[in-house]
Amino acid sequence: MDLRQMSNSKRVIEKIYMKQMSEPDIKTIEESSAGVYLGKTLVYGLPFFLDISALTSPHIAVIGMTGSGKTFMLKNFIIRNSIYSEPDMLILDFNGEYRSAVQDIGGRIFRLGKDFKINLFEFLDYSQDKAIDSVLEIIESYTKIAKDEAATLHNAISDAINNAEKVNLRAIADRVGRDWPQLKLKLGRLAGSAVFADATSFTISSLFKGATSIDLSGIESDVEKNFISYIFVRLISESLNKEGINQKANKFIILDEAWKSVENIYLSRLFREGRKYGFGIIVASQLVSDINNVILSNSSCVLVFKVQNMDDFRILENTGIASREQILRMPNLDIGECFVYLSFKNENNRLKRFFIKKIDGLPIYSHRIYIGDKMELEISNEKFELATRNIGIGNEAMLRITNFVEENENNIEIAAFLQFLASLGISRAEIVSYLKKMGINDAVIIEAYGRISKTSIEIKE
Ligand SMILES: Nc1ncnc2c1ncn2[C@@H]1O[C@H](COP(=O)(O)OP(=O)(O)O)[C@@H](O)[C@H]1O
Ligand SMILES: [Mg+2]
């Protein structure tokens, strides 16, 4: 893939569409080309742009078996959505799969325990007895606790709550300490850690600034991962009308398999009320039947990748998402192929149920550009392309940069690159800001300029 193709992809698509003028569904394309490009339709090969603003709700449900292409699609959605606009996207990343996509668009990655901490006790629904059990379960996933200790701990937590104290693990360790020194020791070791912090270290509104990924891949216990996703969804749901979350549209919460434990009032509420506050919720799941009715009926875009489950077929048919004929094709879909259902605000004669040949992915995971010599700096093609487009040089100069990268087989020596850019007439200030946009830090740039001036002095001498 070369830079030319990438930077012109939107233009190329427009050209394809001009040629397709005689196709019947051109209106769909025209009116939705404001959205995010996903791929070409199966029958007409028309480019499909997902334009959430034309749909009845901002929510998206993505369904398909493991390996069918859900995460790939979401990563591309995240990147493409940020190329032409500045959305706020919060991603709950269970497995660290979104790290490079989020980095490529200049987003922030928050690692639990490193960049932020949670005090679980602040988020328990104390009206339910189960709440304390779920914390006990998490504590036990870290440290062995005997039966009698567990009972003591349970009581200590209830007492602390009933006394309306500020509850955290440190305080509870102190509470049990007098009679249970061993237990105090165990709890003391956990106190202050990622989820048992003395106080929670972030606010919800701070999470909605550009792309933010909550990277949970470092957490070993699934119980804890699930609990943390539950906490986030609950926090967001509860703070919808409290905290001053910005009102701009194009805000998404992406829950790729991370919402299963959240099968509860909070997720449903997010779906119902999210729209009012400009939130689109995107959930991905292996089974349609995993997704509750509130979610399915509030999603105005449903993407179905390969599925084989009879229950799922039934739900898809009964809800009118897909016809029997369409459902029959679903077990045979290839990786990346999917069925699309859309619910438009204004129906007209738009295409609302169709197949996409393949989600057209950006080649960000296979193509990398290395800048530097021994200490290589890996830069994704996508990031390189974005930075290059932003320096505001002409097409001619962009083409020459592309050729330069190709001639060097994606391995660019930084000093040579600086000199090459200067030869195109780009000023030093622009070059520095260009390289910084790619994520190259000051020290590396200064060092490279240092080498250039040294060689030029040597030549003079
Ligand atoms: N549209 C696509 N084009 C190219 N490769 C794809 C596409 N969709 C998925 N893949 C690849 O297939 C594999 C499985 O996709 P993934 O999105 O992780 O599946 P899922 O999330 O549904 O389990 C990944 O290696 C991914 O890169
Ligand atoms: Mg996945």
Rounded CA gap, 57 and 224, in Å?
A: 31
- The answer to whether residue 201 is domain-embedded is no
Rounded CA gap, 411 and 221, in Å?
A: 40
> What is the number of structural domains in the chain?
3
261 and 315, same domain (yes or no):
yes
Distance of CA 245 to the CA centre of its chain: 19
274 and 350, same domain (yes or no):
yes
Rounded CA gap, 169 and 121, in Å?
A: 8
21 and 100, same domain (yes or no):
yes
Q: Averaged over 122-128, what is the pLDDT? A: 73
Comparing CA positions, the residue from 393, 363, 396 lying closest to residue 380 is 363
Q: Averaged over 322-335, what is the pLDDT? A: 96
Say which residue, 165 or 233, is predicted with more confidence.
233
Pick the last residue of a domain from 313, 330, 359.
359
- pLDDT range class, residue 69, cuts 50, 70, 90: very high
Ligand nearest to the CA of 63: 1
Structural domain that includes position 349: 3-112+208-359
What per-residue confidence (pLDDT) applies to 21?
34
DSSP 249: S
- The answer to whether residue 238 is domain-embedded is yes
What per-residue confidence (pLDDT) applies to 315?
93
Comparing CA positions, the residue from 134, 198, 118, 126 lying closest to residue 166 is 198
Ligand nearest to the CA of 337: 1
What per-residue confidence (pLDDT) applies to 226?
79
- Cβ burial of 409 (10 Å; 0-12, 13-18, 19+) is exposed
- The answer to whether residue 339 is domain-embedded is yes
Q: Token digits for 210?
A: 């550009």
* Distance from the alpha carbon of residue 367 to the mean position of ligand 2, in angstroms: 21
* Distance from the alpha carbon of residue 358 to the mean position of ligand 1, in angstroms: 10
413 and 353, same domain (yes or no):
no
Which ligand 1 atom is nearest residue 256's CA? 21
Give me the helix-helix angle, 395-407 and 414-423, nearest 10°. 150
335 CB under 6 A from ligand 1?
yes
Which ligand 1 atom is nearest residue 257's CA? 21
266 and 337, same domain (yes or no):
yes
Say which residue, 307 or 245, is predicted with more confidence.
307
Q: Token digits for 259?
A: 């919402």
Residues 6+ apart with CB under 8 A from 147: none
**Has residue 117 got a pLDDT over 80?**
yes
Rounded CA gap, 277 and 303, in Å?
A: 24
Q: What percentage of the chain exceeds 70 in pLDDT?
A: 84
**Has residue 248 got a pLDDT over 80?**
no
Say which residue, 431 or 262, is predicted with more confidence.
431
Q: Averaged over 186-208, what is the pLDDT? A: 88
267 and 379, same domain (yes or no):
no
